[in-house]
Structure 1
Amino acid sequence: MNHLETDEETAVALRNADAVSPLVFVCEHASAHIPERFGTLGLSVEARKSHAAWDPGALALAERLADRFGAVLVAASVSRLVIDCNRPPEAPDAMPARSEIFDIPGNAKLDKAEREIRSQSYYTPFHAAVAKAISDRSDPILVTVHSFTPVYHGAARTVEIGVLHDRDARLADAMLDAADRAGAQNVRRNDPYGPEDGVTHTLKKHALPGKHLNVMLEVRNDLIADAAAQDDMAKRLGDWLESALSTTGAAAC
């Protein structure tokens, strides 16, 4: 189906679930939704809508890329402030008590039992869906899609697009080469985050063990703030990805 299949308490949403493309798109921070049982986590409306709660524009961008390549998209259905599916559950920032300028009162005194409940309720089924999408394909290619805030802790970021990787840089190298050939500006490797920041968890969990091609894309969220901008960015990234796959000898469909 060409829509996200989800419901109020589901941990994961799928788009193009029956797709046969080897590409697997993943959006770990797709939603700002906080399930009812958590209340507001003690947060203001501003905080619940901010980049601390999700990656604005990332889901729309991931949907466009998945549709372009006729590929499956696996998206998390709850806010990363409930649990960050791009962190191991035991990591302190998987259920942060503070995110940039925001305190998260509902996460301030989590005991082991509550952390385990969140992990089993949301993290485990999300990653099971990613694992299934990977295992259903003979030569899977993992692409995770994120956005980042233009200003972080008061400092402006000039980078526009980050192409991130962990130990396996094959697809990232090819995408960066494609971006360079296209004359793209402010496209950088492992910026504004890199493996040292713990952001490559999904790549490490699902791509590195099987030596599958993989890349993580980070786009500054002011560049994907509306539908027209999302269309434009999806075309740019899609063109680079298509070129990169050709360079690496991988097929997109």
Structure 2
Amino acid sequence: MQNDTLLEAGASAIEVENEGANGDIVVVCEHASRLVPAKLGDLGLNAVALESHIAWDPGALELSRRLSSNLDAVLVYQRYSRLVYDCNRPPEAVSAIPEKSEIFQIPGNKDISEAQRQARVNEIYLPFRDGLFGILSYRRSTGRPTILVTIHSFTPIYFGERREVEIGILHDSDSRFADAMLSEAQRQTQKYVVKRNQPYGPADGVTHTLLKHGIANSIPNVMIEVRNDLLTSANEDLAIATYLTTLIEKAASAMRASHTAN
């Protein structure tokens, strides 16, 4: 990158769909895209790497869109690859602009200048952070109940080891909504292997969005991870979306009932 700007004129790091939705849920997909700004070329990676899970969460945006439709929810997602900047990481985190992801070295992220790093923060992270904050703040100012749900996918094999968990329900210090979803999952016929804080948890640094936008503002929140081999066809995607819609709706109803009772 030869100057201080990263994105082309008029380009935006944040996309919002179904902004006028009437539901309580705000769906966020931070790893929706594998797009790399033209000024960064291919980050020194081949096409296979740029299409793999290191660059994005395959299937996560399609799943997020189905949930947005099912739940009449606002959808907010990042338009650029997490290899450019991971919006689920704060600027001070090394993993926000990773030099290595699993077995892949990221040459385009190695030894970048402070100005280049700051350009990514300024043009990708801050607009995404501020855009999401604005949506949540507006809902609060108008008295709209809100539950923050972030959607991710994960690879079934990581560093050569098979992951048996199929759906992870993740939380940080505020486990209210995760608890309600997990309770509902236990009541249902076990269609999927559902686990708490797997395959990642707070210690892995994956709960930045929950902390920054949920917990800091007393908004119930949860992060959902789905193994990406379950999102490779329209039928599988529909089945997962239907299952998660039920868990989310039942959890939201349980929380409303608890709030009314108190």
Q: Distance in 2 between matches of 1:153 and 1:45?
A: 20
State the 1:8 CA deviation.
Answer: 8.2
Give CA-to-partner distance per residue, 1:30-62, whole Å, 9 cap, x none.
000001010000000000000000000000000
State the 1:250 CA deviation.
Answer: 6.8
Structure 2 counterpart of 1:157 = 163
State the 1:183 CA deviation.
Answer: 2.4
Q: TM (normalized to structure 2)?
A: 0.91
Bigger shift: residues 108-117 or 230-239: 108-117
Give CA-to-partner distance per residue, 1:126-155, whole Å, 9 cap, x none.
111111121122322100000000000000
The residue correspondences of 1:37-52 to structure 2 (distance < 5 A) are 37-52=39-54
Structure 1 counterpart of 2:137 = 135
The residue correspondences of 1:19-58 to structure 2 (distance < 5 A) are 19-58=21-60
Q: TM (normalized to structure 1)?
A: 0.94
1:190 paired with 2:192, answer no
Bigger shift: residues 29-38 or 108-117: 108-117
Match among 150, 153, 159 for residue 147 of structure 1: 153
State the 1:158 CA deviation.
Answer: 0.2
Structure 1: 4+ residue segments shifted above 3 A: none
Which is higher, the Rg of structure 1 or of structure 2? 2
Q: Distance in 2 between matches of 1:91 and 1:114?
A: 15
Structure 1 counterpart of 2:173 = 167
Q: Distance in 2 between matches of 1:83 and 1:8?
A: 18
Q: What stretches of structure 1 of length at least 5 have no aligned partner?
A: 1-6
State the 1:22 CA deviation.
Answer: 2.3
Q: Distance in 2 between matches of 1:57 and 1:23?
A: 20
Structure 2 counterpart of 1:4 = none
Q: Distance in 1 between matches of 2:72 and 2:128?
A: 21
1:87 paired with 2:104, answer no
Q: Distance in 2 between matches of 1:32 and 1:189?
A: 27
Secondary structure at 2:186's aligned position in 1? helix
Q: CA RMSD in A?
A: 1.4
Q: Distance in 1 between matches of 2:163 and 2:257?
A: 33
Secondary structure at 2:251's aligned position in 1? helix
Match among 176, 182, 202 for residue 182 of structure 2: 176
Aligned residue pairs total 245
State the 1:189 CA deviation.
Answer: 0.2
Give CA-to-partner distance per residue, 1:156-193, whole Å, 9 cap, x none.
00000000000000000000011111122410000000
